[in-house]
Every structure is written in structure tokens, then in C-alpha cells.
Amino acid sequence: MNGLLLVARREIATHIRTKAFIISLLITAALVGAAAFAPKVFGGPDSYTLGTVNSQQLPLQAALPDAEIEWRAFPDEAAAKRAVLDGDVDAVLVDGVKVISDGEIDSELGILLQSTNREVKLGAAGVNIPPLQMESVGADTRYQAARTGIAVVLVLVLFMLVIGQTMTVAMGVVEEKGSRIVEILLTSIRPWQLLGGKILGLGALGMINLVAILGVGVAAAMVSGVAMDFPPGMPGIVAGVLIWFVLGYAFFATMAAALGSLVSRQEEVGNVMSPLTMLIMAAYFVAFYATTEPTSTLASVMAMVPPFSSMVMPVRMAAAEVPIWQVGLSMALMVLAVLAVLSVAAKVYERAVLRTGARVRLGDVLRGK
Amino acid sequence: MLEISELRKRFAGGPEAPEGKVALDGIGFAVRPGEMFGFVGANGAGKTTTMRIVMGVLQADSGSVSWQGKPLSYADRRGFGYMPEERGLYQKMRVAEQIEYFGRLHGLSPAAAGKATADLIERLGLGERKGDAVESLSLGNQQRVQLAVALVHDPEVLVLDEPFSGLDPLAVDTLATALQERCRGGVPVIFSSHQLDLVERLCDSVGIVSAGRMVATGTVEELRATEGGTLRVVVRDPQPGWADGLPGEVTVNGDRHVLRAQDGDGQEILRRAAKAGHVEHFGMERPSLTQIFKEAVA
């Protein structure tokens, strides 16, 4: 087997059985699963408990098909008042002419009761009013809440995976350099095989993570019924996330390997990586902003600019409709950026990884000193 | 044959020493197949730098390394076994997996790597620890694993930087035996060490390096011959002034007088000593490698 694949296989075999990998995968999957149930638990449809004293129940269900409406009958107004004050019912219709509630009535419920009452009375008088037809001439906003929700979960998952795997790459490079394993490795394989194998192996692990998380998320959404609200084109969004993860990870991890090769001690990793960490954070913030403002100028522009696009574009695709040419162009630009980073980073890595001791200056390496 | 010739290397200096530091100043030597070559020298003399250049980990400013008469290539080096000065192993990886992994990287098939690993674990006495993570092993056992990593692909040449440092005598014997076996199989072995008695015992030839230059090479016997011997005579209770006019120096230790002479007529000295008192010892002292080394780098 090729050296590159051997290195990749070692990375996967080494990390996949560590407690850290398994625990973080379980926690993330659990969080995403929980997020899929959250709308049911917190949002959910409206539910009202109403009472009647000497009145007919109003046909509210027809006006509010999603709501759960429960009616109770009370013998007299005094019993109804007690129930209202105890919080057992939201409101009670008394004698078909007044509504009592504890404090001011919920405005939606109030309007609903008024209009339904009017309709019933008019209907009884023989006046039939056809309901108004509602029609939107703007964008389809039916899925807006679901889209924003999906985008928020995605941005978090992408950010955590990209920064986690990127740091792992840097620490792995420094482990090999600091312990001089690299000296033995590089007498049997080429630097590009070692670098490529490491990035490939850890990327595959990230992909396993991502697929597991998305799988749990989609499955949980189906179980909870949230999937009913998913916008059309969900498979496309999921596939897009996987591709964007590969591109973003390739970009950041390659840079991380180059930066990591400049230092020889684990304590220096955080320091040498800080510009890159900041870049990933910046991409994360823009992507987070894009979850709520996917059509803003900032989100639209940053969805095209590598490496920000790797996090902003998938979020934008989830949060809003994006023209396909924009997605294509953005991907093409990102691929070019990845290739450029690969060629420079491979050179830096090759030149710096055997120079143990004090931190190697990036400028010196680039100039070939 | 592995030939190292005229290697020069200067490390770039920092702000305090802008002229840099000369690590190698034209070092050269050759190691024949089946020869065990001991590389000795003070710290900073250039041993590690030379070995790193041989292994391609460092580039020389000038000079060459050749193997079988041709410049050493990357493909050649893949067939070499190397033990760097600072030990390099994956601390969290298990012993057997680690040895096998390096075998695979050197191009062995899974079956061949597995077999070579099993053999080495057996031979180096690591059987009970083969499933343990390297970090849980004692220094001596880690060193055995390190050697196994260098040997797993049945190397054509062995380059070992301080393979014996920090080992107990039993571990030294295990490692030495493993190296001698390879050497008898026709593999040239270069190793550096500060344990000169060990070098003297194991090596067919020795190179003494000082300030980036090879100051002496040859078999231990050859080095001794160039150094010459010292005549040592011990006389008990001699007449005072017995050694007047004889070469060498006399030291008095109680009633024993010890004469050491680098040259002069041994027979004449013996006659004078016998006349003066009771001769307890008369013989040529052969310099140890330590003495040769001190002499050579002085």
C-alpha cells in the first residue's frame, strides 16, 4: 500500500479508538438530536383551555387548525371565575355575551373569539361571508423558521468540526516533529505522503463525525416530526454541507500543518496557530450572522470569498434560496484557494519539519533560507 | 561500502554569532560491509550532524555520501535503518503495531511486516509488552522498540546515534547481540557512543571526530600502534636514585616506585631495576581507547 494511505490509516486507527473521539461524537450527536426535538418542546402549536357558562362552544378549531383547544363547561359564573383565577382555564365565555379572563386576555385568543363569535352570529342571521383568500406575491417564507434553525445547527457543527480537526492536524505535526519521529518517517516516505496522509486521515475522521451527526439530526427530525417543516431540497443542502466541509477542512488543515511544522513543542502550537484560529473564528461569525440575514450584502459577498465561503455558503444555502451559479462560482474559487494553499503549505512543511529547535520563521522558510 | 567524504556543514548564526558555527569541517570515512564502525567524539564534535546528513535528514553544504560506489539516493536510504539521537516513537501507539507500521512504511507487505515484527519482539525480549502503549514502557524497553523500528525492514545499512545511552548492562548486551548478528550478515553498522569500553569491545574500527574533522580512524589495534605503548615497572624498596639517567618518570607510592617510560631500552631498564630492588611488575601498558581518544582530541 502507498505510504500516503498507510499514514492516513494510522491516523484513523489511532484516533477512532480514543475516548475523546467517541465522547465528543456522542455529545455532538446528542445535541443535534436534541435540537431536532426542541421546536416541539418549546415552540409547538398553541393550546388553549376554554370554558363555557350557559353558552355554545365557538368553532375556533376551524380558524386555527393547528391549535389544541379544550372546552369545559361550568355551572355558573362563580365557578368559572374560580377556575380562571386558579389558572385552570385561559378564558370563559359567559352567557354568549362576555369573556372573562385573569388580566388582559391573550390578544390572539381575544381576536379569535371576537371574530368567530361575529361569524357565528352573522351566520345564524343568514349572512354568509366567504373567507378571504391569502396569497403571497413575495418570497416563499413558509420554511423560514425551519431554514434558520437548520442553518444555526449547521454553522455550529461545521465550526466545531473544522476547528477541532484543524487543531488535531497541527498537534499531530508537532508531535512528530518534536519527538523526531519525523526523522525516521522521512527516511522511508516523502514529506508530501506524510502531510497528505495525515490530512486525509483526519479529514476522513471529520467526515465520519459529520455524517454521523447529520444522520442523527435527520433521523431525530423525522421522529419528532420537525422534518415535516423542512424546506424542499434538503438532500441538496446536506450534500452541499459535506462538500463544503471537505473544501474548508482541506484549506484550514493544510495551513495548520504548515504552521505546526514551524514549532517543535506542543506548548507553542496555540501561539503559532492563533492567526489561523482567528480566521476560522471570523468565518464562523460571518456564517452565524448569515443564519439570520442570509440575503444581506455581507453574507452574499462573504459566501463567495474563500475561505469564508466554506462556512458562509452552506449556511446561506440552508437559510435561503441561492442561485446555482453563485454556488458553482463560490466552489470553484474555493477549490482554487485550496490548491494554492496546498502548494505553498507543502513547501513550508517540507522545509520546516526537519528544522528542530527554536521556532522557524515563516518568512525564512518561504524565501528558502 | 558506505563512503562519506569531505562533508562540510555550517549552521546559520543568530544575532550573537553572525558568522555561524562550523559543525563539519571536511569529515570523511568509509564503512565496509560487515564492519561495525564506532563513532566517538566529544559532544558537539559533529557525530550527530554527520549521521543526519547520511540519512538525508540534513543537507551538507558540500561533500558527498556514496553507497556501493554511487551517490546515496532516497531509494537507497529507504533500505537503511536509522535510530536518531532523540528517540522518536508514537507514545500512544502499541509496541507491536508501531514496529509493524514502520515496516510497512519501508515497503514490506503486511505478512512480511507482521513476521519481522514477531521475530524482533521475540529476539529483543519484548514479548510481554507487545500490546502495551510505548509510553508505559521503561526507557530501556523503549530503546529496544526504537531499535526494532530501525531493524524491522532488514536494513542494508544501520546508522544508530547513541543506541546504548541510558541502558543497563543487560539491555546493552541484548542490543549489542542484535547488532552483531546483523553485522555478521554483511550489514555495515555505524554507531556513535560515549561508552568507549563498549566501542572497544564491539567495533571493528573506530573513528574519532573532533571539531568536525576525523582525527583518527582505524581498528583499535591500529590506533594503539600509532599511539605506542608505555613501559610500566614497579620496584619495591629500591636504592635511592636507582632510576637516574633512565627515560620516563618515577612516582613513589609508599615503598613502591613506579616507572613509566614511553621509549628507551626495556632490557636496560629491567637490569637496573632488578639490581636496585625487588621487581614486582614489568610490562607494556596498552593504551585504552579512552587514552587514545583523549590524546587524539587534545
**SS3 annotation, chain B:** CEEEEEEEEEECCCCCCCCCEEEEEEEEEEECCCCEEEEEECCCCCHHHHHHHHCCCCCCCEEEEEECCEECCHHHHHCEEEECCCCCCCCCCEHHHHHHHHHHHCCCCHHHHHHHHHHHHHHCCCHHHCCCEHHHCCHHHHHHHHHHHHHCCCCCEEEEECCCCCCCHHHHHHHHHHHHHHHHCCCCEEEECCCHHHHHHHCCEEEEEECCEEEEEECHHHHHHHHCCEEEEEEECCCCCCCCCCCCEEEEECCEEEEEECCCCHHHHHHHHHHHCEEEEEEEECCCHHHHHHHHHC
Which of A14, A188, A354 is closest, CB to CB, to B78? A188
- Is residue B115 very low, low, confident or very high in pLDDT (cuts 50, 70, 90)? very high
CA distance B131 to B115: 16
Q: Which residue has the higher pLDDT, B67 or A43?
A: B67
**What is the distance between the alpha carbons of residues A39 and A224, in angstroms, rounded to a whole number?**
9
CA distance B122 to chain A (A): 23
Q: Which residues of A touch B74 (CB under 8 A)?
A: 190
Distance from CA of B105 to the nearest CA of A (A): 6
Distance from CA of B297 to the nearest CA of A (A): 28
Q: Considering only CA atoms, which of A209, A200, A210 is closest in space to residue A253?
A: A200
Identify the helix (H) or strand (E) that includes residue A70: strand A68-73
Nearest to B88 among A7, A184, A190 (CB): A184
How does DSSP classify residue A264?
A: S
Chain A residues whose CB is inside 8 A of the B98 CB are none
For the stretch B231-268, pLDDT in tens is 888 888 888 888 787 888 888 888 888 888 877 778 88
Q: Which residues of chain A have pLDDT under 50?
A: none
Residue B276 pLDDT > 80, yes or no? yes
What pLDDT sits at residue B221? Answer: 78
Contact A42, A34 (CB under 8 A): no
Q: Residue B185 above 70 pLDDT?
A: yes
Q: CB A184 to CB B82 under 8 A?
A: yes
3-state secondary structure of A59: coil
Position A273 scores a pLDDT of: 92
Cβ B106–A3 below 8 Å, yes or no? no
- pLDDT for the residue B160: 93
pLDDT value of position A329:
93
CB pairs under 8 A between A and B: 61
Q: What is the ipTM of this complex?
A: 0.79
Question: pLDDT, tens digit, for every residue of B3-52?
Answer: 998 899 988 766 666 677 888 888 999 999 989 999 998 888 889 999 99
Does B13 contact A at CB distance below 8 Å?
no
Q: Do B89 and A181 touch (CB under 8 A)?
A: yes
Average of per-residue pLDDT across B144-165: 91
Q: Name the residue facing A187 among B77, B93, B101 (closest C-beta).
A: B77
pLDDT at residue number A260: 92
Chain A positions touching chain B (beta carbons under 8 Å): 1, 3, 6-7, 10, 14, 175-176, 179-190, 354, 369
pLDDT at A218: 85
pLDDT score of B36: 93
A266 C-beta neighbours (distance < 10 Å), count: 13
Using the Cβ of B114 and the Cβ atoms of chain A, whether some distance falls under 8 Å is answered with: no
- Partner-chain contact A6 B90, CB within 8 Å: no
Distance CA B101, CA B134 (A): 14
What is the model's pLDDT at position B17? 66
The per-residue pLDDT for A41 is 62
The candidate with the shortest Cα–Cα distance to A232, out of A324, A143, A145, is A143
> If we measure between CA atoms, which residue out of A245, A189, A212, A187 comes closest to residue A8?
A189
CA distance A250 to chain B (A): 24
Query: Best interface-test mutation with B: which of A11, A181, A367 has the largest number of B CBs within 10 A?
Result: A181
Instruction: Quickly tell me which residue has 505478512 as its cell.
Output: B111
Strands B80-83 and B230-236 turn out to be unpaired
Nearest to A348 by CA among A205, A170, A168, A165: A170
Residue A14 to chain B, least CA–CA distance (Å): 7
For B80, which of A6, A14, A187 is closest by C-beta distance?
A187
Give, as one character, the DSSP assignment of residue A18: S
Quote the CA–CA distance of B161 and B169 in Å, as a whole number. Answer: 18
Q: How close B252 comes to chain A (CA, Å)?
A: 52
Which of B74, B78, B88 lies nearest to residue A181, judging by beta carbons? B88
Q: Does the pTM of the predicted model rise above 0.90?
A: no
**A208 contact partners, CB below 8 Å, separation of at least 6:** A16
pLDDT digits (tens, 9 = 90+) for B208-240: 998 888 888 888 778 777 666 778 888 888 888
Query: pLDDT tens, A223-238?
Result: 877 777 777 777 888 8
Closest CA in chain A for residue B150: A184
